[in-house]
Amino acid sequence: MDELPIGRRVAYWRGRRKMSQQVFADRLGKSKSWVDKVERGVRRLDKFSVVYEIADVLQLDVQLLLGKEPERRPDSISCIDQVEVEEIRAALERYDCISAFFDAVPQPPPLGEIRKAVSHAWLTYQHAKYGVLARALPKLLRDAQAADTAYGTGDEGREGAHLLGQVYQIASSALRKLGEHELSWLAADRSIAVSQRAGDPLLAGVATYRVGNALLALGRARPALEVNVNIANRLAPGSGNDASPQRLSVYGMLLLQGAMAAARIGDSATVRDLVHGADEAARALGGDHNHYWTSFGPTNVQLHRAAAAVELGEGRYAVDTHEMIDGEGFAALLPERRAHHLLDIARGYTQLGDVDKASEMLLEGDRLAPAEIRCRPIAHEVMSDVLRRTRGTPPVPIAELAEHMGVSV
């Protein structure tokens, strides 16, 4: 990439952002012909102001367009930057398992060390420390891939595959939240294959709803619905399957993710059926737990009920559901889950035209888990909507948050 002309770099990143030349041109206020000439190198980009505008539209560091390595952000509330995304991509592109057929592979770290690192990565994700997670993921991916390759079959081989499957899921979830949907899909798909080698159907079930999330983010709602419901039916308690807390949790989360996909295509009847099934699983579970890192339980069912209502455009029902959530149960959830919900409810309030309450939700979410609000593209859309609907000058706290997020007031 560093050796490419700037026009080729523009074309590359435009393609990564899934923008046509026409859409890109419209956002820049230029013609499609102008964009085409820039990308082919016929027209030079000799004004820094234009380069900065292009970087802003493509949502990347201007240094990447100039073929330089961007400086890493020193602030404690950091998002995943493009350098870190490319490092994660490079780790995902490794195929050491094939090389192992021909050459001896280096000895990986002990499984105990990787196990601790994976647990720490899950907690980092569920506390919405995305910048910290991004810096750890490339090495963790390499170590887990090396362990999966080196330990082969047997108990150690199955544990190595299990750990790698989890790392792929962590990477998929983090990348999806930050708009890298294709990479998220790749990591989730890898997790399904590795989970099968690990011999753990529940891990494969969790990997399935990560795939469903990635498909949904890519605008593929119907396949996301089908894959979640299909595997949920296979894992349903009863009919020879146990009703362990772990199975109930994975089964319930598959139903909830299926409900979110159904909401995206406007199928309210299926949403009700799937949420009802998840509610029954949560009641059988008897409380909120974090088996297989699902955060599943009665409270999370309510959060998804509200989120599905937002997707259906039913802001009033979403807000009413939010107001009925048990406060103690909500407070016990991990920060990422709570801030994610507050972002959903902020969207619900914007549907009602209540920008004051929407602002309140954004500010509360930022206090809980700043990166969940400041780093996610959907949060930027909500903030833009709030600012657009605000009459006069926005309140100081919202103006300051918007500035931190890079959203123009």
pLDDT 10s digits, 59-116: 776 777 777 655 544 444 567 777 788 888 888 877 655 554 444 556 778 899 999 9
Average pLDDT, the chain: 88
Which pLDDT band holds residue 392 (cuts at 50, 70, 90)? Answer: confident
pLDDT value of position 225: 97
pLDDT value of position 74: 44
pLDDT value of position 239: 66
Kindly give, in sequence order, each residue whose CB lies less than 8 Å from that of residue 320, ignoring residues fewer than 6 positions away. none
Which pLDDT band holds residue 405 (cuts at 50, 70, 90)? Answer: confident
pLDDT value of position 78: 64
Which pLDDT band holds residue 409 (cuts at 50, 70, 90)? Answer: low
pLDDT value of position 70: 53
Indicate the pTM of the whole model: 0.79
Which pLDDT band holds residue 222 (cuts at 50, 70, 90)? Answer: very high
pLDDT value of position 391: 86
Higher pLDDT, 229 or 14: 229
Higher pLDDT, 87 or 299: 299
% of the chain residues with pLDDT over 90: 62
pLDDT value of position 154: 81
Summarised one tens digit per residue, pLDDT across range 311-367 is 999 999 999 999 999 999 999 999 999 999 999 999 999 999 999 999 999 999 999
pLDDT value of position 2: 47
pLDDT at 46 over 90: no
pLDDT at 16 over 60: yes
Which pLDDT band holds residue 125 (cuts at 50, 70, 90)? Answer: very high
pLDDT at 56 over 60: yes
pLDDT value of position 126: 93
pLDDT value of position 50: 84
pLDDT value of position 187: 95
- Across 34-48, 262-276, 341-355, least confident range: 34-48
